[in-house]
Structure 1
Amino acid sequence: MTSPPISEITDRARDIFRLVVEDYLTSGQPVGSKALAQHDGINLSPASIRSVLSELEQLGLLAAPHTSAGRMPTTHGLRMFVDGIMQVAEPSAEERAAIEQQLAQPGPIEEALEKTSSILSDISGAAGMVMVPKREPRLAQMRLVSLDERRALAVLVGEDGQVENRVLDIGSAASVGSLEEASNYISAHLAGRTLAESVAAMQHEISSGKSALDEASASLVEAGIAVWSEDTAKRPVLIVRGQANLLDESALGDLDRVRQLLDDLENKQSIAELLESAREAQSARIFIGSENRLFALSGSSVIASPYRDRDGKVVGVLGVIGPTRLNYARVVPIVDFTARSLGKRIG
């Protein structure tokens, strides 16, 4: 069913519709005429309100669950609300400070992405999601530092200044000279390349016997290649935090829907593809319930916003996922602000 333009609905119907949606988003429960009659500024009898509710239901904007005499917004109704009625509330100073403080902390970019997902979950009360950037950073150098007789620390430095550490099992004792030689060899092949490009170049030289490395140093290089190649392959396309938020008290009466939503989240590739469709958006995009086939059963909503690097290039998308009764007016600007803050962190 196609919803009528908001301009074609009478002021009275518009006011009643807005109150139904706002009350539903707050409580998660259908809203009845008696509750609506208690709102300030609604000078209508419950009978008159029921008449308006019936009109809105006929327009496909509201629905009456068989277990209740109250009304709740349909997917079409929620779309009309967020596109034509909703007034967003900017994040509070405390929320902005909390987001910026978390993302300003130093550390690997993966930690920043995980913090972002957790922040979105904590503030929205839903599950937070962050797509891991596809773009591989250009690398500057890699150093191997001895930890003990069987382990070394691989320190990888990107051209953007990002530093990541991994522990290598070197299998046997390695001299300081071997570690230094391997470090110099690796760094020479990293300069200006991505990790994948560097690995390919080093593997070719070692396998073809063209490298001037001795056996011990070559083994260290191969150990470094292995750990970083494995790490790259295992990096997730999507980081999700806060799934437990989806199991609140209001979900107990609709466990099938919540179970389906959790199943949807397990299929991270499909969720990532949905987020990918928001890459070209200038601000947050809202996906509501059955508008997207992925949520045809769970009836969930996603609020997503792209985040950009210092050059304005989109490197990923973040957002929240939860029931359709998300507090859109509050969550939308939080998602947008978090996207801008993460972009500053990534550089």
Structure 2
Amino acid sequence: MQLDSRAQTLLKALVERYIADGQPVGSRALSKISGLDLSPATIRNIMADLEEMGFVASPHTSAGRVPTPRGYRFFVDTLLTVQPIDESTLESKMQSRLKTHSQQKLLSNAAQILSSLSQFAGVVLTPRHESVFQQIDFLRLSEKRILLVIVAPNGDVQNRLLLTEVDYSPSQLTHAANYINQHYGGMSFDDVRMRLKNELRQLRDDMTQLMEAAVDAGSDAMSDHGEEVVISGERNLLSVTDLSSNMTALRKLFEVFEQKTGLMQLLDISSQANGVQIFIGGESQLVPMDEMSVVTAPYEANGKIIGTLGVIGPTRMAYERVIPIVDITAKLLSNALSQH
């Protein structure tokens, strides 16, 4: 729905004032801060029109008005001016936190950076891992106890203990590992499982059991990469009045963090878009609270998008400040992962 320039100016002034102090904004205040040479009566008429269109609402306890989720959306999409940010200073503060050889530590540090800079909650959707292996090895620990060592294409190593019914000799274990690496190296464990059903019939039954046990354990190991969503700074949101002022809102807030399912869906959707995305509460079932917004951006490694990060905060957040924080963090994480 189109708004004329006067209505846009008043809506922008109202949203910015409400974000700044959290109090309903009246017509008298708008006449002072908007810069428009309009009578209070004209401003009241325009605000009544904005309320009728669903951009603002009047709390019962005040003559002033507050933005609705629709008002925030129009403000973010059309009226928002992102603050210039000293990228070099910000990058220098963040670079040391993103220098680590552990990918999981990189993602955890990125979530902490987002939280500390925004003073809200930082969240990172971790990359999806395919159960592809480069090679495996068997190490005999004792009778009927074998250590399965799995090396992923990126060099990550996973270990799993196998308890077998047969006491395999070191030469048998070497033969089995060589067979798997030669025939299946670079494939996913799921693909190997399908091929084993047909191709291992010529081998002895005890070797077949060993290989099938290795595939099952390997598949579990490669899919077990810790938390799918890394969250930092949830406690920051307890000090945000808009989110913690009533028990219902507080309960919904903690359900978001405990269940994580909706959060993962939202982050997964945003990974399919370019640049910063803003999800405002009340617009989508993925954001279960009118008082909550999520600002996200995808991150990549070697030119391929592999995940999403963002900030979870109140709908009444300083978007012009949070947007560049999310954007720069995504770029720096992408650079760190590409060099990893």
Which of 156, 163, 168 is residue 156 of structure 2 equivalent to? 163
Name the SS for the 2:246 alignment partner.
Answer: helix
The equivalences for 1:129-148 within 5 A come to 129-134=123-128, 136=130, 138-144=132-138
Asked whether the 8 Å contact 2:132–2:152 carries over to 1, the reply is: no
CA–CA separation in structure 1 for the residues paired with 2:141 and 2:40: 75
Name the SS for the 2:187 alignment partner.
Answer: coil
Residue of structure 1 in register with 2:66 after alignment:
72
**2:231 aligned with 1:241, yes or no?**
yes
Structure 1 stretches lacking a partner, 5+ long? none
The equivalences for 1:242-257 within 5 A come to 242=232, 243-250=234-241, 251-257=243-249
Asked whether the 8 Å contact 1:151–1:169 carries over to 2, the reply is: yes
TM-score by length of 2: 0.76
Tell me the percent identity.
33
**2:36 aligned with 1:21, yes or no?**
no
CA–CA separation in structure 2 for the residues paired with 1:227 and 1:335: 38
The number of equivalent residue pairs is 333
- 1:264-316: CA deviations, max 9, x gaps? 44443333333333334221111212211333555422222223342x34333
Residue of structure 1 in register with 2:98 after alignment:
103
Q: 1:148 to 1:102 in 2, by over 3 A?
A: farther
CA–CA separation in structure 1 for the residues paired with 2:87 and 2:109: 19
Asked whether the 8 Å contact 2:229–2:264 carries over to 1, the reply is: no
Q: 1:180 to 1:326 in 2, by over 3 A?
A: farther
Which of 149, 154, 157 is residue 154 of structure 1 equivalent to? 149
Higher alpha-carbon deviation: 275-284 or 93-102: 93-102
Which one-letter code corresponds to 2:5 in the other structure?
A: I
**2:315 aligned with 1:324, yes or no?**
yes
Which one-letter code corresponds to 1:283 in the other structure?
A: G
Asked whether the 8 Å contact 1:168–1:224 carries over to 2, the reply is: no
Deviation, 1:204, is 5.9
Higher alpha-carbon deviation: 41-50 or 337-346: 41-50
The equivalences for 1:27-46 within 5 A come to 27-32=21-26
Residue of structure 2 in register with 1:337 after alignment:
328
CA–CA separation in structure 1 for the residues paired with 2:225 and 2:334: 20
Deviation, 1:78, is 0.7
CA–CA separation in structure 2 for the residues paired with 1:195 and 1:28: 54
Which one-letter code corresponds to 2:326 in the other structure?
A: V
Which one-letter code corresponds to 2:262 in the other structure?
A: S
Residue of structure 1 in register with 2:215 after alignment:
225
CA–CA separation in structure 2 for the residues paired with 1:116 and 1:145: 37
Q: 1:256 to 1:201 in 2, by over 3 A?
A: same
Q: 1:344 to 1:140 in 2, by over 3 A?
A: farther
CA–CA separation in structure 2 for the residues paired with 1:162 and 1:343: 19
TM-score by length of 1: 0.75
Asked whether the 8 Å contact 1:303–1:319 carries over to 2, the reply is: yes
Deviation, 1:256, is 1.4
CA–CA separation in structure 2 for the residues paired with 1:151 and 1:91: 55
Residue of structure 1 in register with 2:117 after alignment:
123
CA–CA separation in structure 2 for the residues paired with 1:231 and 1:181: 22
Which of 5, 14, 18 is residue 9 of structure 1 equivalent to? 5
CA–CA separation in structure 2 for the residues paired with 1:122 and 1:81: 25
Q: 1:84 to 1:139 in 2, by over 3 A?
A: same
Deviation, 1:195, is 3.8
Name the SS for the 1:277 alignment partner.
Answer: helix
Name the SS for the 1:18 alignment partner.
Answer: helix
Asked whether the 8 Å contact 1:289–1:300 carries over to 2, the reply is: yes
Q: 1:91 to 1:270 in 2, by over 3 A?
A: farther
The equivalences for 1:181-330 within 5 A come to 181=175, 183-201=177-195, 208=201, 210-211=202-203, 219=210, 224-234=214-224, 238-242=228-232, 243-250=234-241, 251-295=243-287, 297-310=289-302, 312-330=303-321
Q: 1:189 to 1:256 in 2, by over 3 A?
A: farther
CA–CA separation in structure 2 for the residues paired with 1:82 and 1:226: 49
Deviation, 1:61, is 2.4
Q: 1:44 to 1:171 in 2, by over 3 A?
A: farther
Name the SS for the 1:130 alignment partner.
Answer: strand
Which one-letter code corresponds to 2:220 in the other structure?
A: E
CA–CA separation in structure 1 for the residues paired with 2:308 and 2:198: 35
Deviation, 1:193, is 1.6
Q: 1:58 to 1:40 in 2, by over 3 A?
A: closer
Deviation, 1:213, is 9.8
CA–CA separation in structure 2 for the residues paired with 1:317 and 1:285: 10
Name the SS for the 1:67 alignment partner.
Answer: coil
Name the SS for the 2:134 alignment partner.
Answer: strand
Structure 2 stretches lacking a partner, 5+ long? none
Which one-letter code corresponds to 1:163 in the other structure?
A: D
